[in-house]
A and B are shown apart, each in its own frame.
Chain A
Amino acid sequence: MWLQKMVIKNLKPYRGRVEIVFGRRYLQGKHIYVIYGDNGFGKTSLLDAIYWGLFGKRARKTQLIFNDKEIERKGAEMFVELTFYDDFSNKTYTIFRKAVKAGSIIQEKLEVIIDGESITGDVLYKQDCIEEFLIPYEISKFFFFDAEYVKTLAREQGGEIVKDSVELLLGLKAIRESIEDLTSIKGEFERQRRKYFMEENNYREIAEKLENISKKLEMYRKRRERIQRELKKKREERIELRRELAESGIEEIKKILQRRDELESKLELLKEGREEIKRKLEELCTNIHLLILKSELITAEKYLENKLKKLQREKEKLRELSFRMLFLKRLLDELKCPICGKIPLELDIRLLSEELEKLEKNNPLISKELTSIDEEYSRYYGFYSQLKQKLENIKQFSTSDVYELRIKLREINEEINRVQKDILRKDELLKNIGFSLVSSIEGKISDLQREIGELEERDKNLFEKIEELEQRKKKLERELKRFLPKKSEILELEAKIDFIDAIKMAFKDYLDEMIEKRRNDIIKSSSEIFLKLTNKKDEYRGFEFSSQSNYKFQIVCKDGSKPNMDTISYGEMEVMALSFILGLNMYSQIKAPIITDTLFGRLSPYVQENIAKVFSEMDNQIILLVLKDDRPNGKTEIELIAPFFKQNICKEFIIKRDQIKRESKIYECKILAGD
């Protein structure tokens, strides 16, 4: 795998876009690239850029590698673009990781392009692709490292720090994880089995409780039945008592009601009588004026009688006169008496004629007068007749009637009041009888009532207890069902646990075997490099580590002895750590670029030379970040060892710093290779 190009923007001392083109693999058969820079110019930042580009914030905190000026700017962005070529799969991988400041947070974006085609999916998926196709994070520190990591490895003498990486590299991590998974599954099965055992115990306990409750329930039920029988008996007694008392009271009530009905009928009749009297009285009132006028009418009657007599007399007088005149007229006309037929004497005739003349002269309208007086008589006679009739009628309305009626009315009103009072008394009596009956009943049955109350209370308490026990019983029954012994499940679980144990054992055996086999391979290649690097080639045979010793490094002398590692010098430990890293690289299937940062500083010239020789022999891409004095013709860290790999240097770059603008730039140069 070859890093072809690296583009960064706004990362640590680099402002704006900075591009380093390493080119295709084995350009003119050379595989070493050197990047020079003085302290603080940005060498380590390039290592940070590779880590962040490949693994994001898992490897480096984004805000710590953001250019400190740019990060203040709203909407500032930083990115790293790495382009690798993998000759094993013959594919080009471009990783583009970008960070954009949005408000107070920094949003990250990752793009993975394989042969020009962008991978779709979420960030986790893309990250998995990087670690699967390019390099896993745990392995990366054996490829991209600085002197500091070598020191740490030396200080720790291997151990825990290398365990994961070694196992991952050996492909054993997955097996170990599987064993852990199996252990976890087995633990789960064992827990389940324990639970079943506990449930079985619970089942026995619950069954015992249930039996006790059932016995108690049976006892309570029997007791309650007894109480209910007693209650029933008492209630029947109470009903019987009430019935007897009520029956004795009913006869009395019947009598009173009968009497009351009679009184009601009487009251009805009296009211009817009163209405009749009132009607008559009203009628009398309407005619009361006739009573007042009675004397006046009698006076009028007398007046009319006199009047009629007077008229009668006048009428008779006029009739006599009229008759005399008619007689005289006929006598004189016929000259003979109309009555006896005698012929009057002449003297008589003359006298009679004078008499007629005188009469006619004095009574010229006698016939009219006679008619008028007849009419008047008739009129007054009519009045008289009517008056008589009126007086006859008035006689019917004797004033005593008014008073009699009034007395009768008063009496009847009094009678009505009496009857009404009687009725009220009867009603009161009926009510009192009701009350007296109730009180007598209450008196007689109060004892029964009290007893019934007590029994009911006991019954209620028992009922509540039974209810409660039944609830508990139901609950326990439910629980019991839940805790039914699961014999078959337990057997099944035990079979599973045995099976898992067997698999685990097989995995462990395999793991041990594999570790043993591959460990020897790694130890062999690491020891070869160790012997190339160390200045004690004649004393040491190599070094080793094992899973039993938890990957702690151990030097092995030529005679097979193993010196105490605490007595080994720190410098030697660094050589051993570096040998381990390079040995692991050589053994690894992954052929990633080796990028070292200021590696040579503390190492002895002898070791430096040996490393240079080893690097020149390796076929990995090697990028050396090298300290160089920034002054013109300033020395470099690798000045002395350059001759050993000069012919393998492909390209050289130098980091320049503009201290006014506080920004670094990278330029291609020719410092060692050119000369």
Chain B
Amino acid sequence: MIHPKVLDPLLLKEISTEIRKSVITTLSIAGSGHLGASLGLADLFTCLYFAILNHDPDDPLYQDRDRLILSIGHVAPILYTTLARVGYFPEAEMATLRKLGSRLQGHPGREHGLPGLELSAGSLGQGLSVSVGRAIAAKMDNESWRVFCILGDGELQEGSVWEAAMAASHLKLNNLVAIVDRNGVQIDGKTENVMALEPLKEKWKAFGWEVIECDGNNHQDLLSSLQMTNQFVEKPVVILAYTKMGKGVPMIEGDYHWHGKAPSKHEASLFLKQLKEETG
């Protein structure tokens, strides 16, 4: 059965908070992993898996499902946590993240058998090309499912992303939705210092895409933006989702040092406390 859609922003917000807690706890157990971007994407992933995507946790490969391609494999923790929360596998398994023999690899690896993974990925700049391939296949077979591809903003520095962007508009893939996590930071610092991306909206437009901008940490804004994506007839669409790295934990919000770090046990308990205070 297709997972029922939750369309109440308040309810979605509560789910996001639970997911954030799980991300913090999981990464402190793992001892390594990308906390900042995973927290920043919690609201987007909640909206996608609980409100937007057609998918079935009991039948992960059913033909008509929407495909979610995670191009930025390093935010695997947010994908895994959301998949567990929505019912793909027991949440207890989160404790095995990054451990030997786990189905929860540091970056998604399908050969380890975790249900719900659409692509093994982690080398940046490849997911949009794979998404283009899947969207072409859907068009060829007159199928109505769509492809959602999650990209990082730093990842847009990879030239191959723009090869794929060019192909998607050339082929009029209106069944393809790219979502850029525009948190403005990458490992070395601010994207605009490391290698400037702006004017980003104009770049995507020039490549022939419809562009929607939204607050990637606001459930209402995310929902209305995601719901708009199926109304374009000739063009692929990109959502520039402005998020805050570390969202939900004020002491690390926007701090690029938390891009690729996991919290210690002590830090994790502080973060969980702050998260609780923030959300009441």
Q: Do A and B come from one complex?
A: no
